[in-house]
Amino acid sequence: MNRPIQVTRSSMPPMDEYTDEIKDLWDTHWLTNMGVKHHKLEQMLKNYLKTPYITLFTNGHLALECIIAALNLTGEVITTPFTFASTTHAIVRTGLKPVFCDIREEDCTIDPDRIESLITKNTCAIVPIHVYGNLCDTERIEEIARKYNLKVVYDAAHAFGVSRRGKSSACFGDASMFSFHATKVFNTIEGGAVTFGDESLIKILDDLKNFGITGPETVEYAGGNAKMNEFQAAMGICNLRHVDEEIAKRRKVYEKYLDNLDGIKHIKIIKPSEDIISNYAYFPVIFDGYRYNRDEVFELLKENHIYARKYFYPITSAFECYRGVFEPKKTPVALEISKKVLTLPMYADLSTEEVDSICSIILNKSSSFGPGGVK
């Protein structure tokens, strides 16, 4: 049977494992509001990510909004437009002004050499993004933040399980936001978390994600509903048991892509730096002067029922909703890369034969794809 290849596919535990995990919910009828499984997953993730504190959310977007609110940020935030919509939207929706910094060409993370020139009297924080699992230059960012007394909140949606020289991605800055969306290396179907080192943030975040309710008859914050439910937590508990195995499988897919594409002229692979233990979340490729441009490769793969992703395109400063507000040309590196980058299919169960066929199409060789997809 032929089947299409999507850019990603959700990792799932064996069905029996998940049904066993949720079975007791029919006894307790405790389905949400920070139940037993919610607290169990929090502890498991706290240990796995080696973080002092963690708070779970129903998704990463609301997690980012809540930590911005918890830190009482006002004014301007330095960030980059080379990110998913959620990052910029969360900043704007919480009443802050994003000030866009350009990125580094080698890893697509924020360029620390450009940050200081963007700092004004209104700057309150830096929100850098760990892109494709590549960690930002955290040391330089921390130095700048200390110098100007700024908060640092990392968007670590791509960086679950990543570490640099033994330090977890969950332990940089004042806080880090993780997404546990179904497309991520680790998922809770939908979900997210904030990790942090300041114990006083625990209660604030717990209150903010529960409508700002602080007691049976007190509501001290204008909060929302961002609580992870017990079915999400149960999926996380199961998936976390298998995540190291999933990452190991992803590494084999990554290495197979390298066997095919590394060293090909005008095809640049954005690789993790040598001091990072990667999660192999994505396989981003820049087509720069290749026989096919990025859009042509995208369409060529699509014709063969292979669905890559222009990720990130467009940059967030070019969104229609921000037209006339931001100027995309002020971040030329981000703008240029967004027009050339393509993330190829990447997930644990992608076979080496499928990777070979994907690469054969890109390299204009014969492939094993028929009209309905991979055979």
Residues 6+ apart with CB under 8 A from 140: 112
* Whether the Cβ atoms of residue 226 and residue 66 lie closer than 8 Å to each other: yes
CA 85 to chain centre: 11
pTM for the full predicted model: 0.95
- CATH classification (class only), 15-237: alpha beta
Residues 71-96 have pLDDT tens digits of 999 999 999 999 999 999 999 999 99
Q: Look at residue 3 in the predicted model and tell me its pLDDT.
A: 83
Query: Within the chain, what is the greatest distance between any pair of CA atoms?
Result: 69
State the amino acid at position 229 in one-letter form.
Answer: N
How many other CB atoms sit within 10 Å of the CB of residue 64? 29
Residues 288-339 have pLDDT tens digits of 999 999 999 999 999 999 999 999 999 999 999 999 999 999 999 999 999 9
Q: Look at residue 373 in the predicted model and tell me its pLDDT.
A: 52
Q: Look at residue 370 in the predicted model and tell me its pLDDT.
A: 47
In this prediction, the residues of the chain whose per-residue pLDDT falls under 70 are 1-2, 365-375
Residue 375: C-alpha distances to residues 260, 304, 362 (Å): 20, 11, 18
Q: Considering the domain 243-366 in this protein, what is its CATH number?
A: 3.90.1150.10
How many other CB atoms sit within 10 Å of the CB of residue 75? 14
Q: Look at residue 81 in the predicted model and tell me its pLDDT.
A: 98
CA dist 308 and 278 (Å) reads: 21
- Tell me the CB-side half-sphere exposure of residue 325, using CA atoms within 13 A: 15
Give which of 148, 130, 150, 151 is closest to 87, Cα–Cα: 130
Domain regions of the chain by residue span: 15-237, 243-366
Helix (H, G, I), strand (E, B) or coil at 329: helix
What does the block give as tokens for 296? 């042509």
CA dist 134 and 205 (Å) reads: 27
State the chain's mean pLDDT as an integer: 96
